[in-house]
Amino acid sequence: MGLARSDLEETAVLVWPDNMPAVDTLIAMGTQWRTGVAGPTGLDYGVMPQVFRLLAIPRSDWPETFDCVRVLEAEALATMREST
């Protein structure tokens, strides 16, 4: 229900360096999608602090990275809903 780097292999995607922590976080959270009867509903934010630590994202950057992940999450959800 999530995206992996391999999903993007055929498409060139330019990611600005400032956005890489959010992209890396979303990819690392690929198995953390919550689902209901209507499909994916969003990410399990409870594990995000552990992911930030594993990715060595400085704690001072967590709020901004979280905001960016939420934007990516919303777009991912919209794309997943389109494909159903």
pLDDT at residue 57 in the model: 98
CA distance 47 to 73: 15
How close are the terminal C-alpha atoms of the chain, in Å? 12
Write down the pLDDT at residue 43. Answer: 97
pLDDT tens for the chain, residues 1 to 84: 466 666 656 667 789 999 999 999 999 999 999 999 988 999 999 999 999 999 999 999 999 999 999 999 999 999 888 866
* Alpha-carbon gap, residue 82 to 19, rounded angstroms: 25
